[in-house]
Structure 1
Amino acid sequence: MKVLISVDLEGISGIVHPAETNPDRYDYERGRALMTAEANAVIAGVLDAEPDAVVWVADAHGTFRNILPEDLDRRAYLVRGKPRPLGMLAGLDEHTDAVLLVGYHARAGAGPAVLAHTISDAILDVRVAGRSLGEIGLNVAMAGHLDAPVVLLSGDDTACTEFSELVPSAITVAVKQTLGQAAAVALHPQEARERLRHAAAEAIARRASVSPTKLAGPLDVEVDLYGPYMVDLATLVPGVTRVGGGRTVAFHAVDFAEAYRLVQLLVQLASIKPS
């Protein structure tokens, strides 16, 4: 069987501040070490349950170059770097039997939630068929489009609740209880890793009880962008139109895969600054 583990950084135990997630800040090296260790715990849990599983790990934070390759469990394949197909779910395909989301955070506007946002600070909200989706929802639905169930999520308690509303039969591991955007009560990293290893093994063992989450197309998608100039750039993309004032664009997608790819493109366009 093939398993994909997508690992973000904001939802790792002990992480509460942007300085711990930004390569240009002083505390980043500690953050990436904690991220790598939690990835290893989940790899170990997957292989406890299925020793012959093929495990792929997608580095899914920021630059997609955070996990320390030399410290990652040698039994796993690491997908790193960008741009790349499927972004945070790079490595996902029709042969993937289960997906685990590790270190994830709540969507923009959720709160209290540690470091809540949706993909980047340029995105205020993404609505698919009228439903607001953050990174959790977008990735759950993208996995579902390829018939892969998402069987586990770890992060703060708000992220776990957001995930459970989408996939109630899956397992969650709350590694910290949120106090605000940059504050939480966190488990000791070793305790978090022990819980993650146990939960990952359980999630893989009972994966057949979790159904893929599907959003059938065609789909209407709206994206709220932070700056009006971002909307100006977005509307250069065929099929993307301005709606509802100065910060919202909309498009139609034939299926969720098309919606997912176009949202990724809009995020990249939004990073371009006016000359």
Structure 2
Amino acid sequence: MKAYVSIDLEGLPGIASTTMTTPDKTQFSIAVKVITRISEFVAKRLLDLGFTEVYLADSHGLMTNIDYAAVPDGVYLVQGYPRPYSMLTMLDGSFSATMFIGYHSAAGTTRGFLDHTMSGRVFYEVYVNGVKASEFLINSLYAREKGVPVILVAGDAHLRSEVETYSTNIVFVELKKGLSRYAAVYPSLSRVLEELDKGLRTAVDRLKSKHEFKLFLQPPYTLAVKFRDNLVADVAEMTGAERLDAYTIKKTFGSASEMLGFIEVLAYLGLGVEYLKSSIK
């Protein structure tokens, strides 16, 4: 069996400030220790639970947060940005299961710690078939299309309701709870690892027992994206998307891969517009 683990940062314990989220920030070294320790633990436990290979997808920011020197034997580390399909690069039907660790709540979630969807700098809110969508939901639709069940999600407590509302049998493990956009509470790391261990064992047991991991959203997918900057919407409209208002566009897709690819293009487009505005002197 092969396992695919996509690990983000904002939903991890020990992360409570933007001073920890990018390499140029003063406390980024703390985040590297946390994400590396949790990645190493999850990978080793999955190997113990019967997986023969584990792929760790470093899925935050520039996607070079995990210390490669700590990667155990039998584990492959996927790093670097940009890359195809972002947080799920290389995911295909050869994998038996995928897990999302350190995931955060959707953009627009009250008290969600650093809540955003795909690109907080570009997108204000993202909806799929009328549902406010997180990275969990969008990535899960893509994984299902590849024939790989999502069996576990671990992260901010504010993500739990979305997981339980739009899926069945996915194990949710709370790693932290957002108190505001810039504050969170979490137990000791040893307690977090204990809860992760329980969650992993339950999820793998369900997988081996042939539980069906269902998602309730079905194609076609109507994507509505509200941008932070209406100039990005001006440019994005040229893709053929329908303009709903000054900040929002809409487009319908027959597949999750098409939708995820389009979201990624919009994120790059938004960053390009931001750079263009800053370069006009």
**Equivalent residue runs for 1:90-101 within 5 Å:** 90-101=89-100
Per-residue CA deviations over 1:31-55 (Å, capped at 9, x if unaligned) read: 01101111112112212211x4211
The verdict on how the C-alpha distance between 1:271 and 1:118 changes in structure 2, with shifts beyond 3 A counting, is: same
Runs of 4+ aligned structure 1 residues displaced above 3 Å come to: none
Other-structure match for 2:79: 80
8 Å CA contact 1:41–1:196 kept in 2: the answer is: no
CA offsets 1:184-230 (integer angstroms, 9 cap, x no match) = 22111122123213321321221231424264333322111110111
C-alpha deviation, 1:72, in angstroms? 2.2
Residue in structure 2 matched with residue 205 of structure 1 by the alignment: 205
Aligned AA (2:138): L
What is the TM-score with the length of structure 2 in the denominator?
Answer: 0.91
Aligned Cα root-mean-square deviation (Å)? 1.6
Residues of 1 paired with 2:155 and 2:203: CA distance? Answer: 16
TM-score normalised by structure 1 residue count: 0.93
Q: In the alignment, residue 231 of structure 1 is paired with which amino acid? A: A
Residues 29-178 of structure 1 aligned to structure 2 (within 5 Å): 29-50=29-50, 52-121=51-120, 122-178=122-178
User: 1:251-270 maps to which residues of 2 (within 5 A)?
Assistant: 251-270=251-270
Paired with 1:185 and 1:247, the residues of 2 have a C-alpha distance of 34
> Which residue of the partner structure matches residue 225 of structure 2?
223
Given residue 235 of structure 1, which amino acid in structure 2 is its aligned partner?
A: E
Instruction: Check whether the contact 1:176–1:186 (CA below 8 A) recurs between aligned residues.
Output: yes
Aligned partner letter, 1:30: I
Which residue type is aligned with residue 222 of structure 2? D
The alpha-carbon deviation at position 102 of structure 1 amounts to 0.3
SS where residue 148 of structure 1 aligns? coil
> Separation in 1 of the partners of 2:227 and 2:158?
23
Kindly indicate whether the alpha-carbon contact (under 8 Å) linking 2:52 and 2:74 is maintained by their aligned counterparts in 1. Answer: no
SS at match of 1:236: helix
Tell me, in whole angstroms, the C-alpha distance in 2 between the residues paired with 1:175 and 1:253: 33
Point out the more displaced range, 202-211 or 95-104: 202-211
Deviation at 1:262, TM superposition (A): 0.4
Give the Cα–Cα distance (whole angstroms) in 2 for the partners of residues 28 and 157 of structure 1.
23
**Count of paired positions:** 272
**Matched-pair contact (CA < 8 Å) for 1:126–1:222:** yes
Instruction: Give 1:128 deviation, angstroms.
Output: 1.6
Instruction: After TM superposition, give the deviation of residue 66 of structure 1 in Å.
Output: 0.8
Other-structure match for 1:235 = 237
Moved more, 193-202 or 166-175: 193-202
Once residues 45 and 199 of structure 1 are traced to their aligned partners in structure 2, the CA distance between those partners, rounded to angstroms, is 11
Per-residue Cα deviation, 1:234-264 (whole angstroms, up to 9, x for no partner): 1232x32322x20001112121211111011
Assess if the C-alpha contact under 8 Å between 1:216 and 1:256 holds in 2.
no
In the other structure, the counterpart of 1:6 is 6
More displaced 10-residue stretch of structure 1: 173-182 or 257-266: 173-182
Conserved in 2, the CA contact under 8 Å of 1:16 and 1:182?
A: yes
Deviation at 1:139, TM superposition (A): 0.9
Worse overlay, 251-260 or 212-221: 212-221
Which residues of structure 1 form unaligned runs of 5+?
A: none
What per-residue deviation string (whole Å, max 9, x for no partner) do you get for residues 154-209 of structure 1? 11211233222222311111122332112222111122123213321321221231
Paired residues for 1:18-37 under 5 Å: 18-37=18-37
Letter of the 1:57 counterpart: L
- From the superposition, tell whether residues 125 and 159 of structure 1 become closer, same or farther in structure 2 (CA, over 3 Å): same
The residue aligned with 1:17 is 17
> In structure 2, how many angstroms separate the alpha carbons of the residues matched to 1:212 and 1:40?
28
Contact 2:169 2:214 (C-alpha < 8 Å) held by counterparts: no
SS in structure 1 of the partner of residue 218 of structure 2: coil
> Quick one: distance in 2 between partners of 1:152 and 1:103?
11
Contact 1:145-1:213 within 8 A present in 2 as well: no
